[in-house]
Structure formats: structure tokens, C-alpha cells
């Protein structure tokens, strides 16, 4: 099986680009961030503080997260309910960053992620795929863009969906998530030593997709 690991900070476009690459290659796309978002949704719905392990860990026994592929699209199910839309709310994004720093949560989801790569050719994105989850992935990419660029993209995405948010608020959230992800004790965000750095600041989405496809095809030229 072939594994492509794409890591990087929040808002770098990992999910969109990874999904496009998977479609081009006929691989399964696995959005690991969605798994953490689902846990965060459950935790916050039960009134727990996503930063406090003593509140989060007891709730995990009530969590059943599944990724299903419906009409070639990944859908996330939490205890049998499709929560693919709910987990994209900004407050859930912040809570997901918090729960992902809790060792019990990472252990809880670790086997699920690895099993997918054993059973399928995958494109998997997250924060620690190339460093922790799939350290033997044939292709590793660290995808990034400036905080300002990532906040702008998120601002435009939310505005198109009818959400009214302040750009400066989003920028501060991006910077805070970057700090949290880079400084957490468990599996901090960092570029794997054998990962290719891809900075997409100033790119259109299509340019970013082609940039990463070029990296993937070069690394897998003896396989594809």
C-alpha cells in the first residue's frame, strides 16, 4: 500500500489539496483533523473543558467515530450521526486543537488512522502524520502558508457561506492555533526530516494542487 502524508498548520489547505490528490490518484483520502473535531464536538456538547484531560478522558468511552465514503466523499459520523458540517464550526476548530494535545485522545484515534493506511492506498493529512502516525509513508509533504494568507482564505470561505466574522479575529485564532500545535507536549507540529516543504503563499488553489501533485509524482515516479 502507498501512503502520502501531508502535515502542516491550520488553514494551509491540507484537506482540500489532499482530497484533490487522492481523487487524481484514485486513493482514499483520510482527513484526520475531522476525527479530532468529532471528539471535540462530543466533548463540548457534554459541557467539558477541551483543555482538561480529567474532563475529556472519561467521555471517550462514549465516542464512536467513523469515516465513511459516500459517493467518493468522506463523511464523518459520530455515534451514528453525520456531523460533517457541525465539526467545521470555528469554535470546534479551536476545541479540536485543545483535545488533540491530550494523550488519551491521540491514543484513542491512533489505531483507527493506522488501520486505514494498512487497508488502502491513502492520502492522509494532519499535524503529525509523517512524524508519528505514518513515519514510513512513501511521500511526506509539509504544507504551509503565511498566517495572513491562511486567515484570508478562511475569511473568504466563511463569508461565502454567509458567516459574518472579523478578519483580525481569524488571524489571531490562526496564530494561537499555530502556537498551541507547535508547543504541545504530545506530537507537536513539526516538519519531518524527510518531508518536502511546500509553501503556497500567493498561490491559487489550483496552483497549490499542481505544486503538490508534482511533488507526489516525482517521489512515486517508479510506482505510478
pLDDT in tens, 112-160: 888 888 888 999 998 889 999 999 999 999 999 999 999 999 899 888 8
Q: Measuring CA to CA, which residue among 36, 29, 192, 190 is closest to residue 124?
A: 29
CATH number for the domain including 52? 3.40.50.300
Judged against a pLDDT cut of 80, whether residue 213 lies above it is answered with yes
The answer to whether position 223 is within a domain reads no
How confident is the model over 173-200, as pLDDT tens digits?
999 989 988 888 877 889 999 999 999 9
* Rounded (10°) angle between helices 167-183 and 90-99: 10
| Residue 170 lies inside a defined structural domain of this protein | yes
Could you tell me whether strands 3-7 and 139-144 are parallel, antiparallel, or unpaired per DSSP bridges?
Answer: parallel
For residue 135 the three cell numbers come to 513515519
Q: Place 169 in a pLDDT band, splitting at 50, 70 and 90.
A: very high
pLDDT at 31: 84
Assigned domain for 222 exists:
no
Q: Is residue 132 part of a domain?
A: yes
| Range of the structural domain that residue 204 is part of | 3-217
Number of domains in the chain: 1
For residue 224, being part of any structural domain is answered with no
pTM: 0.80
Per the domain annotation, does 41 fall within a domain?
yes
Residue 204 domain flag: yes
Amino acid at each position: 500500500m502507498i501512503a502520502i502524508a501531508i502535515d502542516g498548520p491550520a488553514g494551509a489547505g491540507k484537506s482540500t489539496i489532499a482530497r484533490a490528490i487522492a481523487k487524481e490518484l484514485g486513493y482514499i483520502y483520510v482527513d484526520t483533523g475531522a476525527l479530532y473535531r468529532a471528539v471535540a464536538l462530543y466533548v463540548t456538547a457534554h459541557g467539558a473543558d477541551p483543555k482538561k484531560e480529567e474532563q475529556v478522558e472519561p467521555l471517550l468511552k462514549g465516542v464512536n467515530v467513523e469515516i465513511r465514503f459516500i459517493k467518493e466523499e468522506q463523511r464523518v459520523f459520530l455515534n451514528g450521526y453525520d456531523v460533517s458540517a457541525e465539526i467545521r464550526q470555528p469554535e470546534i476548530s479551536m476545541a479540536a486543537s485543545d483535545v488533540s494535545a491530550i494523550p488519551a485522545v491521540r491514543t484513542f484515534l491512533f489505531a483507527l488512522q493506522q488501520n486505514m493506511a494498512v487497508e488502502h492506498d491513502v492520502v492522509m493529512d494532519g499535524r503529525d502524520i509523517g512524524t508519528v502516525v505514518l513515519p514510513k509513508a512513501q511521500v511526506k509533504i509539509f504544507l504551509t502558508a503565511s498566517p495572513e494568507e491562511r486567515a484570508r482564505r478562511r475569511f473568504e470561505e466563511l463569508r461565502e457561506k454567509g458567516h459574518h466574522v472579523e478578519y483580525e479575529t481569524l488571524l489571531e485564532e490562526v496564530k494561537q492555533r499555530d502556537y498551541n500545535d507547535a508547543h504541545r507536549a504530545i506530537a507537536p507540529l513539526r516538519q519531518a526530516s524527510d518531508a518536502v516543504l511546500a509553501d503556497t503563499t500567493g498561490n491559487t488553489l489550483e496552483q497549490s494542487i499542481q505544486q503538490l501533485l508534482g511533488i507526489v509524482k516525482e517521489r512515486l515516479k517508479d510506482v505510478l
